[in-house]
Chains A and B, each alone.
Chain A
Amino acid sequence: MPGRTQVRSATVIAGLAATLLLAVVAATSFGAVAVGPGQVVSAITRALAGRTLVPAEALVIELRLPRVVMAALVGMCLAAAGVLYQALFRNPLADPYILGVSSGAGLGAALAFVVGGSGALALVAPPVAAFVLALGTIVLVAGLATRRGVMQTLSLLLAGVAVSYTLAALTSFVLVLQRQQLSRVVFWMMGGLQGATWPQCAVVAVMLGAGLAIPLARTRELDIMLLGDERAGELGVDVERTKRLILASASLMVSAAVSVSGLIGFVGLMTPHAVRLLLGPDHRLLIPASVLGGGVVMVLADLLARVVLAPVELPVGIITALLGGPLFVWLLVRAQREET
């Protein structure tokens, strides 16, 4: 019987990975200058082989591909964080944006922008500052929502919203100080992916990998913690330790995403939820499937953002919010119905 489950899991993962690759190729071929999918693939293989590139290929490799890859990485980070928050808070409404973690990371990144710096420091400082504040935010929000050891759904959402507003206001204040770059910074805050570079992609990929390592090694604990903290403890899970590790991992991935692409909401909400409906609650499958799914969603959302008003680009955060907002309302209504 485990054999059958594993075959199914492998099929799902392979299917999602293939979809992601197709989406990346499709998104890369679209643009002001049309580049066929075949050319995209050949450009990638030639670049990997270290050959010199013709101008059309250089356009693909230097400009379009980093942006698409970045979209995929950001989607992966946010979806992975969403899965983890939903498991820890046992709440399908938990999402880095709603919990205020994104705003915390945003403030951290904004502070790093203002302080400035150059070279490697400019690359690494924003995600690190984002991580510190993201972690502080989630601890604060979870603390505010907990009364006598019990975390209430409504309190969690309210605390998330309240903290999120405060942090967003602080972020705006910080960014106004940086008036000469205002338009770039505003675009970043609304969630934009243009201007992504390969070194940025590398930083985000490393943070994604580091953020996924612990959760993937502890999927069984995550499953068991769905039964409640007390029961998990009875079954031998060190709940507090696991929680701290998972919160840190999730916040690391959120910080990576936010520091390059600003506040992009609802990807971390939609993707895990859809994957859970399809595949069930087993985290051994849920995490990798959500990561790949998040990549697909984000690449397609970014494609939409470029297509809808072409040649004008929309911030991708607008697309994800338009898709995810209604879903969130539906989930909230359903959760209320279950609670009463």
Chain B
Amino acid sequence: MTVAILRYAGATVGYRDPVVSGVAVAVEAGELVGLIGPNGAGKTTLLRAVTGGARVLSGEVMLDGRPLHSLARKEVARLVGVLPQQTPTGFAFSARSFVEMGRHAHLSGFAATLGRADTAAVDRALMLTGTEHLASERLDRLSGGDVQRLTLAQALAQEPRVLLLDEPTSHLDLNHRLEVLDAVRALADGGLAVLAVFHDLDMAARYSDRLAVVADGGIGVQGPPAVVLTSETLSAVFGVRAVIGRDVVTGAVQVTPVVRDGVRPREGAPRVLVISGSGTGAALMRRLALAGYAVCCGVLAEGDTDAEVARALGVPFTAVPLGTVMSVEHGEALRAAAAESDAVAVVATPFGRPNVGNLRAVVEQAGRTVLVGDLSPSLDFTGGEAGALWRRMAVGGARQCTDERAAVAALEEVCDR
């Protein structure tokens, strides 16, 4: 059984007053644990408690099986390296002497020069971060990304067993962000225990083995990203209604925030029925919800993007299993709902046998309908029926527009009439 190198055992951390209480989180060698949570929840305080920037007010933080308070500053620095959010710039030190500062904890008080082991550790740190070529550059002449990698090298020169990262990439562009996080992931795979604060949930999901939520003065859910990052958690913790998907390339959990919590229809708002599918109606639904309309949807298949977005927005719809053909009852219910709506929006969507019933249900409402986009034959998998219904509505007085913004304006006019 592996022993956690860094373990918060019922620890309460803070400054004068507690910030996060009763923390039980353990990080093992070779593991990258991500801390997520809203601003000011105390994620950084948790990290700072290890290196002395914040205090452990009660409970215990254990490093390598020993309580933190029994360790001297230098002993902690030999076990724990930190990559801070941002390092101050403008120092005329050479990059190499900057990285050599990481060896302080391994040097005795009066030894002014580095020994062979120290030089080797510095060389290794420069290599692991791909910064060998910067060694003789002056720090104040390097870019933020380079300084950040050199700061990582400085932390690695400590030869730590635990690495703490505090939103280490929030000031970097995408390329440097991936570079730093890829390096950290490789270090974790090489046996380092990493505890990292993430701002970006997608990055957190992509790089972490486990996530822990810091919110409301304590630790919430903990577990693999797919377990932690649910729409319920996001709503409860961040106050955001989100669609949880999967990154097609990396397979990591992907979070798409839709709207903030608290978005709800205005008092006496007009009712708009949106007919869409496969994600074609997501943008329109979001715009209408933000504008305060009472939106509802037609029949959508489970797992359809529009169904996910509708659920996140709190928009009512009828869900059926994927591939199920709409029943007569569904059609009748939808026809009734269409009749009661102030306006209907029909978005150009791939229509096939399962969902063409949506079009049939609203075809009589042409006078109150806005058609969004163009239903080209390539979207029609019904042998022409969907196209015919679409044209019938167009001829019957439905307005036509090309994008969501125009559609919202047109729907507003329809409702005002």
Contact = CB atoms under 8 A, between A and B. Distances in A.
B53 A224 contact: no
A236 B88 contact: no
Given A280-B92, A284-B112, A235 B84 contact: no
Interface stretch (A16-24, A95-103, A213-221): A213-221
Given A233-B53, A235-B104, A281-B92, 10 more contacts: A1-B96, A220-B112, A230-B53, A231-B82, A234-B51, A234-B84, A237-B104, A281-B93, A282-B93, A284-B112
Interface string A215-259: 001111101101110110111111000000000000000000000
A300 B76 CA distance: 49
Contact of B82 (A219, A223, A234): A234
A326 interface: no
A231 B82 CA distance: 8
Contacts of A228: 88
A228 B375 CA distance: 62
Nearest to B113: A2
Contacts of A236: 73-74, 76-78, 104-105, 158
Given A233-B73, A238-B73, A224 B101 contact: yes
A177 B373 CA distance: 96
Nearest to A233: B52
Contacts of A218: 109
B73 A237 contact: yes
Contact of A220 (B48, B80, B101): B101
Interface in A181-195: none
Contact of B154 (A226, A235, A284): A235
B170 interface: no
A223 B113 contact: no
Nearest to A237: B104
Contacts of B92: 280-281
A284 B114 CA distance: 14
Interface in B74-120: 74, 76-78, 80-82, 84, 87-88, 91-93, 96-97, 101-102, 104-105, 107, 109-110, 112-114
22 contacts: A217-B109, A217-B110, A220-B101, A220-B112, A226-B91, A227-B87, A227-B88, A230-B51, A230-B84, A233-B52, A234-B51, A234-B52, A234-B77, A234-B81, A235-B77, A235-B101, A235-B105, A238-B74, A280-B92, A281-B92, A282-B97, A284-B112
A235 B88 contact: no
B208 to A, nearest CB: 22
Contacts of B101: 220, 223-224, 227, 235
B15 to A, nearest CB: 9
Nearest to A280: B92
Contacts of A2: 113-114
Q: How large is the interface on B (under 10, 10 to 19, 20 to 34, 35 or more residues)?
A: 20 to 34
B82 A220 contact: no
Contacts of A235: 77, 101-102, 104-105, 154, 158
A150 B74 CA distance: 24
A220 B74 CA distance: 14
A220 B104 contact: yes
Which 4 pairs across A and B sit closest by C-beta, in order of nearness? A236-B77, A236-B105, A236-B74, A234-B82
Contacts of A280: 92-93
Interface residues of A, number: 24
Contacts of A284: 112
A226 B87 CA distance: 11
Interface of B: 48, 51-53, 72-74, 76-78, 80-82, 84, 87-88, 91-93, 96-97, 101-102, 104-105, 107, 109-110, 112-114, 154-155, 158
Nearest to A284: B112
Contacts of A231: 82, 84, 87-88
Given A235-B77, A235-B154, A237-B73, A224 B52 contact: no
Nearest to A90: B88
Nearest to B75: A236
A218 B81 CA distance: 22
A111 B382 CA distance: 104
Contacts of A282: 93, 97
A55 B92 CA distance: 53
A288 B153 CA distance: 30
A236 B103 CA distance: 9
Nearest to A338: B90
B106 to A, nearest CB: 8
A280 B98 CA distance: 13
Interface string A168-189: 0000000000000000000000
A222 to B, nearest CB: 11
Contacts of A219: 112
A204 B81 CA distance: 43
Contact of A224 (B48, B84, B88, B104): B104
A37 B82 CA distance: 58
A253 B48 CA distance: 36
Contacts of B158: 235-236
Contacts of B97: 223, 282
B88 to A, nearest CB: 6
A300 to B, nearest CB: 27
A230 B47 CA distance: 12
A115 B92 CA distance: 48
A233 B51 contact: yes
A220 B91 contact: no
B166 to A, nearest CB: 10
B413 to A, nearest CB: 51
B112 A227 contact: no
Nearest to A2: B113
Contacts of B77: 234-236
Interface hub of A1, A234, A235 (most chain B Cβ within 10 A)? A234
Contacts of B96: 1
A336 to B, nearest CB: 15
Contacts of A220: 101, 104, 107, 112
Contacts of B80: 234
Contacts of A230: 48, 51, 53, 84
Nearest to B98: A227
B53 A221 contact: no
Interface hub of B48, B101, B114, B154 (most chain A Cβ within 10 A)? B101
Contacts of B105: 235-236
Contacts of B78: 236
A87 to B, nearest CB: 12
Contacts of B88: 227-228, 231
Interface hub of A217, A218, A228, A281 (most chain B Cβ within 10 A)? A281
Nearest to A235: B104
A236 B73 CA distance: 5
A227 B104 contact: no
Interface in A8-66: none
A280 B51 CA distance: 29
